[in-house]
Amino acid sequence: MSETFDKLKEQLAKQGNLSEDDINKAIAATGAMSDDERTKLEAERYEKERTKDQKITLEQYLEASKVLDSAAEGSDEYKKALALVEKYESGG
């Protein structure tokens, strides 16, 4: 993957969203992305937006809690589970 894609993916994970301006600035700074990378990034942006407003059920919370106990800390699986647990515990 390109440096631009990696940076934007990291920024999306930290911020939870990306604007077109963010993407254009990253492209200007570190170069263009492939069409495949752009498609993947757009899919991840869409998924973040789609899941942002979803309510977390008790079952999802309990399942995510199990993942936190078994997954390697820092893994993608762990991060996703942690986000669900935190959202549920904050009233989401």
Q: Model confidence over 36-65: pLDDT tens digits?
A: 999 999 998 888 877 666 778 899 999 999
Give pLDDT, residue 30.
Answer: 92
Buried b (16+ CB within 10 A) or exposed e, 30-56: eeebeeebbeebeeebeebeeeeeeeb
- Cα torsion angle, 25, 29, 35, 37, sign: negative
pLDDT band at 92 (very low <50, low <70, confident <90, very high): low
* pLDDT reported for residue 36: 94
Contact (CB, 8 A) for 3 and 30: yes
Q: Where are the domains of the chain?
A: 3-52, 58-89
Instruction: Write the single-letter amino acid at 81.
Output: A
Q: What is the dihedral of CA 35, 37, 85, 17, to 10 degrees?
A: -70
In this prediction the pTM is: 0.56
Question: Smallest Cα–Cα separation from 16: which of 44, 43, 55, 57?
Answer: 44
